[in-house]
Chains A and B, each alone.
Chain A
Amino acid sequence: SQQGEEDPQALSIQEGENATMNCSYKTSINNLQWYRQNSGRGLVHLILIRSNEREKHSGRLRVTLDTSKKSSSLLITASRAADTASYFCATGFDYKLSFGAGTTVTVRA
């Protein structure tokens, strides 16, 4: 079974708008990561936030982590057409990552 669950399942936004997606998980974690996947290709690592961190930034990405609520959010600011992809959260524990079902983001020009 999957550890994380993303919400929403799909998101459609206009270029330049912000996109926010959420992830909930069930058990203890060492870290939480976000990945992007374009058209069924390999996943690309976006950002990793450790269990003792609350917020992290990388370029146009902002990730928050609330371990008390077992949840995380990924914000993409000023979206571009190239941000169209599926986004997955993954929790790291016991030498593996457990992935959520993903959020499909479509950025309209």
Chain B
Amino acid sequence: KAGVTQTPRYLIKTRGQQVTLSCSPISGHRSVSWYQQTPGQGLQFLFEYFSETQRNKGNFPGRFSGRQFSNSRSEMNVSTLELGDSALYLCASSQSDLQGEKLFFGSGTQLSVL
């Protein structure tokens, strides 16, 4: 099976712009989660989707949003980018519909905001 695929791998944007990141989970996985990783804050949970429904959301401003499609692929969007949004954004999928089970991570999208 192919792993979790995230695109693009690298992205450079300027302040005020918006960005959309894409994630394709492992085939058959219906849960997709997003995490932000920065040197200062570590790994922070953004949101989790299961069968197109958001089941949990982290403490991020409304500029951060996500969605999941019927084929389980997911996108996250960040509007009005700020310098502090520079981070590695990681997507993970799970084959379980239970809470907090084993996650399979993609290689991430490295976002740089200038």
Taking Cβ atoms with an 8 Å cutoff, the residues of A that contact B are 2, 30-31, 33, 35, 40-45, 48, 88, 91-102
Contact = CB atoms under 8 A, between A and B. Distances in A.
A93 B42 CA distance: 18
A91 B101 CA distance: 9
Contacts of B90: 42-43
Given A42-B4, A102-B42, A30 B105 contact: no
Interface stretch (B14-22, B50-58, B70-78): B50-58
B56 to A, nearest CB: 4
B58 to A, nearest CB: 7
Of B55, B92, B102, B106, most A-chain CB atoms within 10 Å: B102
Contacts of B98: 30
A42 B45 contact: no
